[in-house]
Amino acid sequence: MKYFPYTIAGEETMTRVPETAADLDEFRRWVERKAIAGEMVGFDTETTGLDTFSPTYRLRTAQFGDAREAWVICVELGSLFAEAARWALLTLPRLVAHNAPFDLLVIDRHLGVPLATLAPRVTDSKIIAHLFDSRPRHEGGYGLRLKELCAKDVDPSAPDTQEDLTAVFRSIGETKATGWRKIDIHHPIYLQYAGLDAILVSRWLPIGEARLRKAGVRQALVDFEHRVMYVCALMERRGMLVDQEYVRGLVDRLWEEAELHASKAKQYGVTSVNAPKQVADALVGMGEKLTERTDSGALKVDKSVLLDLADMDQQWQPRGTRTPNPLADAVLRSKRAGKWRTSYGLVMRDDVDVDGRLHANINSLQARTARMSISRFPAQQLPSSDWRVRRGIIADVGHRIFSVDYSAVEMRVLAALADERTMKRAIAEGRDLHDFTAELIWGPDFTKAHRKMGKGVGFGKVYGGGAATLSRQTGAPIDEVKVAIAAYDRVYPGIKRYSREVQRKARANGYVVITPTGRRLPLDRDRVYAATNYAVQSTARDVLCQALLNMHDKGLTEYLLLPIHDECLGSAPVDIVEEVAREVGETMRMDFFGVPLDTDPEVGGRSWGSLYMKDAKGKYDDALRAREDEWYANVGLAA
Partner DNA sequence: CTTCTCACG
Partner DNA sequence: ACGTACGTGAGAAGT
Closest contact distance (angstroms) between CB of 352 and DNA is 15
> Residue 599, interface with DNA (CB under 7 A)?
no
State the helix-helix crossing angle for 531-553 and 448-463, rounded to 10 degrees.
90
How many Cβ atoms are within 10 Å of 508's Cβ, its own excluded? 9
Closest contact distance (angstroms) between CB of 363 and DNA is 6
Stretch that binds DNA, among 6-14, 100-108, 185-193, 333-341 (CB under 7 A): 333-341
Closest contact distance (angstroms) between CB of 614 and DNA is 13
> Residue 225, interface with DNA (CB under 7 A)?
no
Show the binding pattern over residues 121-160: x = contacts DNA (CB under 7 A), - = does not. Answer: ----------------------------------------
> Which one among 178, 343, 407, 422 touches DNA, defined by CB under 7 A?
343
> Residue 488, interface with DNA (CB under 7 A)?
no
> Residue 300, interface with DNA (CB under 7 A)?
yes
CA distance 44 to 75: 13
> Residue 306, interface with DNA (CB under 7 A)?
yes
Closest contact distance (angstroms) between CB of 444 and DNA is 26
Q: Is the dihedral of CA 524, 527, 531, 534 positive or negative?
A: negative
> Residue 585, interface with DNA (CB under 7 A)?
no
Burial class of residue 317, CB neighbours in 10 A (0-12, 13-18, 19+): exposed
CA distance 61 to 197: 12
Q: Which CB, 43 or 169, lies closer to DNA?
A: 169
Closest contact distance (angstroms) between CB of 280 and DNA is 7
Site for DNA in 376-405 (CB under 7 A): 376-378, 380-385
Closest contact distance (angstroms) between CB of 381 and DNA is 4
**Total of residues contacting DNA (CB under 7 A):** 67
The answer to whether 608 and 358 have CB atoms below 8 angstroms apart is no
Site for DNA in 166-185 (CB under 7 A): none
Q: Which CB, 2 or 253, lies closer to DNA?
A: 253
DSSP helix/strand/coil, 619: coil
> Residue 188, interface with DNA (CB under 7 A)?
no
> Residue 375, interface with DNA (CB under 7 A)?
yes
The answer to whether 454 and 423 have CB atoms below 8 angstroms apart is no
Closest contact distance (angstroms) between CB of 411 and DNA is 12
> Which one among 98, 336, 424, 625 touches DNA, defined by CB under 7 A?
336
Q: Indicate the DSSP class of residue 136.
A: -
CA distance 567 to 633: 27
The answer to whether 364 and 124 have CB atoms below 8 angstroms apart is no
> Residue 266, interface with DNA (CB under 7 A)?
no
> Residue 366, interface with DNA (CB under 7 A)?
yes
Please list, in sequence order, all residues whose beta carbon lies within 8 angstroms of the beta carbon of residue 191, skipping any fewer than 6 positions away.
2, 4, 15, 17, 61, 72, 185
Closest contact distance (angstroms) between CB of 458 and DNA is 9
Closest contact distance (angstroms) between CB of 49 and DNA is 14
Q: Which CB, 107 or 279, lies closer to DNA?
A: 279
> Residue 339, interface with DNA (CB under 7 A)?
yes
Question: In residues, how long is the chain?
Answer: 639
Show the binding pattern over residues 105-124: x = contacts DNA (CB under 7 A), - = does not. Answer: --------------------
> Residue 48, interface with DNA (CB under 7 A)?
no
> Residue 469, interface with DNA (CB under 7 A)?
yes
Site for DNA in 269-288 (CB under 7 A): 272, 274-278
Distance of CA 293 to the CA centre of its chain: 30
> Residue 49, interface with DNA (CB under 7 A)?
no
> Residue 317, interface with DNA (CB under 7 A)?
no
CA distance 451 to 32: 67
> Residue 533, interface with DNA (CB under 7 A)?
yes
C-alpha to C-alpha distances, 22 to 25, 188, 195, 488, nearest whole angstrom: 5, 21, 20, 76
Closest contact distance (angstroms) between CB of 448 and DNA is 18
Show the binding pattern over residues 447-466: x = contacts DNA (CB under 7 A), - = does not. Answer: ---------x--xx--xxxx
Q: Which CB, 144 or 146, lies closer to DNA?
A: 144
Q: Which CB, 195 or 465, lies closer to DNA?
A: 465
Closest contact distance (angstroms) between CB of 100 and DNA is 17
Q: Indicate the DSSP class of residue 382.
A: S
Q: Is the dihedral of CA 48, 52, 54, 60 positive or negative?
A: positive
Q: Which CB, 72 or 484, lies closer to DNA?
A: 484
CA distance 555 to 408: 27
Burial class of residue 629, CB neighbours in 10 A (0-12, 13-18, 19+): buried
CA distance 125 to 203: 11
> Residue 333, interface with DNA (CB under 7 A)?
no
> Residue 338, interface with DNA (CB under 7 A)?
yes
Closest contact distance (angstroms) between CB of 263 and DNA is 14
Give the strands of the sheet with 59-65, arranged side by side: 2-8, 11-17, 69-73, 59-65, 40-47, 94-97, 122-124
C-alpha torsion angle, residues 138, 371, 113, 177 (rounded to 10): -40
CA distance 318 to 308: 10
CA distance 558 to 120: 18
> Residue 335, interface with DNA (CB under 7 A)?
yes
Q: Which CB, 2 or 300, lies closer to DNA?
A: 300
Show the binding pattern over residues 493-522: x = contacts DNA (CB under 7 A), - = does not. Answer: ------------------------------
Q: Which CB, 2 or 452, lies closer to DNA?
A: 452
CA distance 291 to 401: 45
> Residue 54, interface with DNA (CB under 7 A)?
no
3-state helix, strand, coil in the chain (%, to 5): 55, 15, 30
Torsion region of 594: left, alpha or beta (phi above 0 gives left; psi -120 to 50 gives alpha): left
Closest contact distance (angstroms) between CB of 200 and DNA is 21
DSSP helix/strand/coil, 603: strand
Residues lying near DNA in the complex (CB under 7 A): 272, 274-278, 294-298, 300-304, 306, 332, 335-336, 338-339, 342-343, 347, 363, 366-369, 371, 373-378, 380-385, 456, 459-460, 463-470, 473, 526-530, 533-534, 537, 564-567
